Amino acid sequence: MPFGLLKYGISNDYPFEKEADLPLPTELKRQYDVVIIGGGGHGVATAYYLAKYHGITNVAVLEKGYLGGGNTARNTAVIRSNYLTPEGVKFYSESVKLYENLSNEFDFNIMYSQRGQLTLAHTDATVRAFRQRAEVNKHFGGRTELINRQAVGELVPSLNLDPAGLPILAGLWHLDGATARHDAVAWGYAKGATQRGVELHQLTEQHGVDLPFAFNRKEAKTHGEGGNIVGAPLAGDVVVIDDVMTAGTAIRESMAILNESGARGAGVVIGLDRCERGDGQRSAVQQVEQDWGLAVVSVVSLHDIIDWVERNPEMAQHREALERYRERYGVA
């Protein structure tokens, strides 16, 4: 619990009704430096850190429903770092450390509780996998260990060690495992962001914009909806959205899928244009535009990033590497 909230535990004077955690809604402005789509955990965290660490506060977070009401409201609320890959262990260990102090940072109780996580093994194969995971975790500083059946019983005395003919053989005990109220995490980030000038706009779907969407999961799913395409049927004019364009392969694959479905590509929006060469002297973007007759719009390009680095002395150490990358792979 945030230290600043402890005093209200023995007082009737709690300021919640007087000072709302989030400001009242405002009208959308005509222009923002950054627009973030989605008011879930990722969206409001991005807004918060843009404001806190980079001073970028002319930001609008647009949420079609309510704050934290999408995937954030439906996750398991488990915080852990007992992953298998070295990169995963190091990345999520930093995340666990971040969560430990969020309540005090926000002055908002996210109900963080570090109580450990126990995952059970019912087969020899799972025991072997847990042993490997525990060793990787230990090597990179994680507090994870493989415990035997007896230790599992001592740790959780009420646990049935022989459920439905599937005896528990061992357990992966992750001491750093924790839980938090996922909606409270979103509210805490939103509170911190709006206090710094960020605008949060909820119920934006009520403005009359309702467009179907689908995504390509790359590998076919054999259960649930099944297939590669999940979401609305592909029909009519379709805008293809991707995070980055390197050689344009993903876009060409998407266009082939649209053609097979009888839909038409209406344009392409990408987060980052790496400005890499396609065939000959054309860039990958130019190749897609000319071969498919589509307009390609990028949020940012490699040229933009290099220009920004040149204008910011604190980023100067990255300029040479970016220039080498553009010289080796890019177009002018």
What are the structure tokens assigned to 45, written together? Answer: 């965290």
| Measured CA distances, 262 to 212, 235, 241 (Å) | 16, 7, 18
Query: Using CB atoms within 10 A of its CB, is residue 242 exposed (0-12), middle (13-18) or buried (19+)?
Result: middle
Q: What is the radius of gyration, based on Cα positions, of the chain?
A: 25
Instruction: Please indicate whether residue 223 is annotated as part of the active site.
Output: yes
Annotated active-site residue in 54, 221, 303, 318: 221
Residues contacting residue 73 through CB under 8 Å, at least 6 positions apart = 182, 183
Annotated active-site residue in 18, 54, 218, 223: 223
Which stretches within the chain are classed as H helix? Answer: 41-54, 86-100, 102-106, 124-139, 149-155, 182-195, 249-261, 284-292, 302-311, 319-329
Strands 170-174 and 144-148: antiparallel
In the chain, count of helices (H) and strands (E)?
Answer: 10, 14
Instruction: Please indicate whether residue 138 is annotated as part of the active site.
Output: no
* Residues designated catalytic: 221, 223
